[in-house]
Amino acid sequence: MERNQDSRNAWDFVEHTGISVFLTGKAGTGKTTFLRAVKRHSTKRSLIVAPTGVAAINAGGMTIHSFFQLPLSPFLPEINVTKRYAFSKEKRKIIRTLDLLIIDEISMVRADVLDAMDSVLRRYREHNKPFGGVQLLMIGDLQQLTPVVTAEEEALLQRYYDTPYFFASKALQAINYVTIELTHVYRQQDSGFITLLNNIRDGKASSADLQKLNERYNPSFQPEAGSDYIRLTTHNRTAEIYNEEQLRSLPNKAFSFRAQTEGTFPEYNYPADYTLTLKVGAQVMFIRNDNNGRYYNGRIGHVTYVDEHKILVLCPGDNKAIEVEIETWENTKYTLNEQTKQIEAEVQGTFKQYPLRLAWAITIHKSQGLTFEHAIIDAQAAFASGQVYVALSRCKTLEGLVLASPIGNQAIINDENVNEYISHQTEQAEKSIAALPTLKEEYYRDLLLELFDFEELRKEEAALFRVLMEYFYKYSKIIGLHKMTQTDLDDKVISISYKWKDQFCQLNNNQLKEEKFLERIKKGALYFHSQLTELFNHTLEITKDVQTNNKVAAKRFENTYSDLQQTLIVKQELLSTMITETFTITTYLEAKQNAILNSLDDEKEKKGRKKEKKKAPKGASAEISYNLFKEGKSIKQIAKERGLTPVTIEGHLTTYVANGQIKIEEIVEPAKISKIRQIAKDVGPEKGLKVIKDLCPSDITYGEILLVLKAPMP
């Protein structure tokens, strides 16, 4: 990546902006290498999905249909599919805290599948944003593998999409994304061969190109014994028959090796033959990279010895045969580590087998991503766009390939929709890359603005107020309290946040990162945290126990109350962290994800709303803090143990102080209690926390003031 400008640009977009990326490039330009680099080094929370089981296993991810729990039938935009999704709490957490979704082999993903993914992400994240606000990294080459669409599916989809390719997705068309093409070819070094491949890839092969290519046509060609020629065919059955015939023709004894599976590993995801049959003399291909560098995925060799317990393979150029060992493939699912708060791949099952397959022939499809020194190509029966290009581009040199059948224009299938799309995206990419420095600055500024954005709180408080007015009018005092909360929210939070945002927009990026301004961010976080705590904590506490026999009213109240409470918890904890942490993209994203996770832990169950007044929800974050406090741990100790801030823990304990389960003297020193109460009495509690804080000694915190004000008077 350090030596390749295209890769550096792609990395900057992925890591330092929120803009989605379509990373493409010719065969052998390093797309897979880039994916691995992002997986290893990105600070964003990411997961990998792919359209097929083998692609997902190789990329270290899951299939799209498995992770998103999609049906096999096409996703039609006009059909409501809400009931299809029954995600576990853990998977909802993963989706809610996801920064980056990596989709490998995107060229094989149909437009409707991408829209189905959008539907799921919106459902569990931000409903009004495409893909729920998640950044996408789509990797693949539209000139290679294409979407698989049956005639029945095509008849359904053409009513909604101009083409089945992913770029026709309604959701994708609704976002700004950049296309970056990796242009440096690492696989081939011959400029003439590279030019020929490019012309075929683009559907612009001239008669001179085809003439030069067909000079390699030799239908009677027979590889010498021990050579590494592999035959590439268009259909599975053709390759299977050829391999079976070649194996049968060997006079030596056959040995079969059956794979071992443990746990969950679906048959359609098997990365190797379940039963591998070999003889001495068999031509084989390694299908894994060796950690010790002896072989790699796609390396050809011949079996020199085989029995029930041992396999030796000699590869061209080696002086010594390789003793092949059984390899283990893992079938994973994504889980959330509650300790580290990180998304991790959890092994669901394993598949153990020798990393070999018979390799006199394989399909062009299975050759995707592989590199061969020598190949015999039979592409006369090419049936899909890009097949000829994929086959030819597997070879390092023109001299290393032999054509078993001539290649004419009819075998070079090119999709005009793809050509138009690529042409348009190339123009847009140049503009986006030129604007990259500005886009990076905008991303930093956008996150800063997001920290001090409270519109979601205002919207959800208004929704709860409407429900109270419509169904709970007998609770006049609570309704009045919420009316006052809305007014104060506008005056003390929303209007002030607008002023902050105006200041942000007037400063350049360097000024936003100056130490003086970073300190202002901390003070701003402290101000807004105290205001939200003062406005909402008591109000929500006395609101939660309103009662009704109207099931519709109860359901609407539960939903609006829960939404407001969860948004408030996220915002309070995020502000709390930013009081002590210096604002950077990394610290903000980490704090945001942790805040969301804690809010989900705090989310009340949708059923069984009747609870004891003096007891927090079972398993809630506040109750955990309360139990740790009753065990004798200090607020600082609880904060350290739980990975939260002391301000957050103080907020957890406020309810228990207010209802008398914790005595205020157990938390705040008596001298501080007296001082706070005296100042509050002199100025009046209605003046707000900030006025009281300004008059208190510097060692008294906002949290302590709030605790004292909420505590029952002696």
* CA-angle at 31, arms to 26 and 33, nearest 5°: 140
Q: What angle do helix axes 455-471 and 476-488 make, rounded to 10 degrees? A: 160
Q: Name the average pLDDT for the chain.
A: 83
| Mean pLDDT lowest among 51-60, 76-85, 486-495 | 76-85
77 pLDDT more than 90: no
Question: pLDDT-based confidence at 313, cuts 50/70/90?
Answer: very high
Rounded-to-integer distance, Cα 118 and Cα 130, Å: 6
Assess contact for 22 and 177: CB atoms under 8 A. Answer: yes
Higher pLDDT, 450 or 150: 450
pLDDT in tens, 115-138: 999 999 998 888 889 999 999 999
Rounded-to-integer distance, Cα 657 and Cα 666, Å: 9
CA 569 distance to own-chain centroid: 24
For position 689, what pLDDT does the model report? 66
Location of structure tokens 């005092």: 477
3-state DSSP call for residue 354?
A: coil
Question: pLDDT-based confidence at 80, cuts 50/70/90?
Answer: low
Location of structure tokens 């010719």: 26
| Mean pLDDT lowest among 130-144, 235-249, 283-297, 302-316 | 283-297
Rounded-to-integer distance, Cα 672 and Cα 693, Å: 12
Q: Which of 354, 385, 365, 355 is nearest to 237 (CA)?
A: 365
Higher pLDDT, 702 or 251: 251
482 pLDDT more than 90: yes
What are the two backbone dihedrals, phi and then psi, of residue 335, each rounded to the nearest 5 degrees? Answer: -130, 170
Q: What one-character-per-residue DSSP string does 100-137 give?
A: EEEEESGGGSBHHHHHHHHHHHHHHS-TTSGGGG-EEE
Radius of gyration of the chain (CA): 31
605 pLDDT more than 60: no
Domains of the chain in sequence order: 5-187 (3.40.50.300), 207-332+341-411 (no CATH), 457-609 (no CATH), 619-710 (no CATH)
Rounded-to-integer distance, Cα 524 and Cα 227, Å: 71
Higher pLDDT, 363 or 201: 363
Tokens of 458: 């205002």
For position 616, what pLDDT does the model report? 40
Assess contact for 535 and 690: CB atoms under 8 A. Answer: no
Residues 6+ apart with CB under 8 A from 465: 479, 482, 483, 486
For position 491, what pLDDT does the model report? 93
pLDDT in tens, 152-208: 777 788 888 988 889 999 999 999 898 888 877 665 667 788 888 888 877 778 888
Tokens of 612: 């004891």
For position 402, what pLDDT does the model report? 92
55 pLDDT more than 80: no
Rounded-to-integer distance, Cα 261 and Cα 267, Å: 10
Residues 6+ apart with CB under 8 A from 568: 457, 532, 536, 540
499 pLDDT more than 70: yes
Question: pLDDT-based confidence at 355, cuts 50/70/90?
Answer: very high
682 pLDDT more than 70: yes
Question: pLDDT-based confidence at 607, cuts 50/70/90?
Answer: very low
pLDDT in tens, 247-265: 999 999 999 999 999 998 8
Higher pLDDT, 477 or 648: 477
3-state DSSP call for residue 576?
A: helix
Q: Which of 342, 351, 266, 270 is nearest to 65 (CA)?
A: 266
Residues 6+ apart with CB under 8 A from 9: 180, 433, 436
Count Cβ atoms below 10 Å from residue 34 Cβ, excluding itself: 23
For position 27, what pLDDT does the model report? 66
Location of structure tokens 């065990």: 631
User: Which helix (DSSP H) or strand (DSSP E) does residue 484 occupy?
Assistant: helix 476-488
Beta bridge partners of 257: 276
For position 261, what pLDDT does the model report? 93
For position 405, what pLDDT does the model report? 84
Rounded-to-integer distance, Cα 394 and Cα 502, Å: 55
Higher pLDDT, 22 or 654: 22
Q: Which span out of 46-55, 268-277, 505-514, 704-713 was modeled with the highest average pLDDT?
A: 268-277
Q: Which of 275, 277, 247 is nearest to 261 (CA)?
A: 275
Is the four-CA dihedral 161, 162, 167, 171 of positive or negative sign? negative
Task: Please report, rounded to a whole number, the percentage of residues in the chain having pLDDT higher than 70.
Answer: 88
Tokens of 65: 């249909």
Assess contact for 171 and 114: CB atoms under 8 A. Answer: yes
Rounded-to-integer distance, Cα 393 and Cα 398, Å: 9
For position 225, what pLDDT does the model report? 74
Q: Which of 280, 283, 354, 277 is nearest to 316 (CA)?
A: 283
386 pLDDT more than 90: no
Tokens of 66: 């498995």
23 pLDDT more than 60: yes
What are the two backbone dihedrals, phi and then psi, of residue 585, each rounded to the nearest 5 degrees? Answer: -60, -45
pLDDT in tens, 405-418: 888 776 666 667 77
SS3 for 241-299, per residue? HHHHHHHHHCCCCCEEEECEEEECCCHHHCCCCCEEEECCCCEEEECCCCCCCCCCCCC
Assess contact for 358 and 247: CB atoms under 8 A. Answer: yes
For position 384, what pLDDT does the model report? 54
Mean pLDDT of 474-499: 92
Mean pLDDT of 667-687: 83
Assess contact for 46 and 98: CB atoms under 8 A. Answer: yes
683 pLDDT more than 90: no
Mean pLDDT of 597-623: 50
CA 16 distance to own-chain centroid: 16
Q: Which of 7, 60, 56 is nearest to 343 (CA)?
A: 60
pLDDT in tens, 542-596: 898 888 889 899 989 988 998 898 889 889 888 988 888 889 888 888 888 888 8
Strand 311-314 relative to strand 322-323, pairing? antiparallel
614 pLDDT more than 50: no
For position 200, what pLDDT does the model report? 80
Assess contact for 17 and 176: CB atoms under 8 A. Answer: no
Tokens of 639: 């904060």
For position 82, what pLDDT does the model report? 46
Residues 6+ apart with CB under 8 A from 476: none
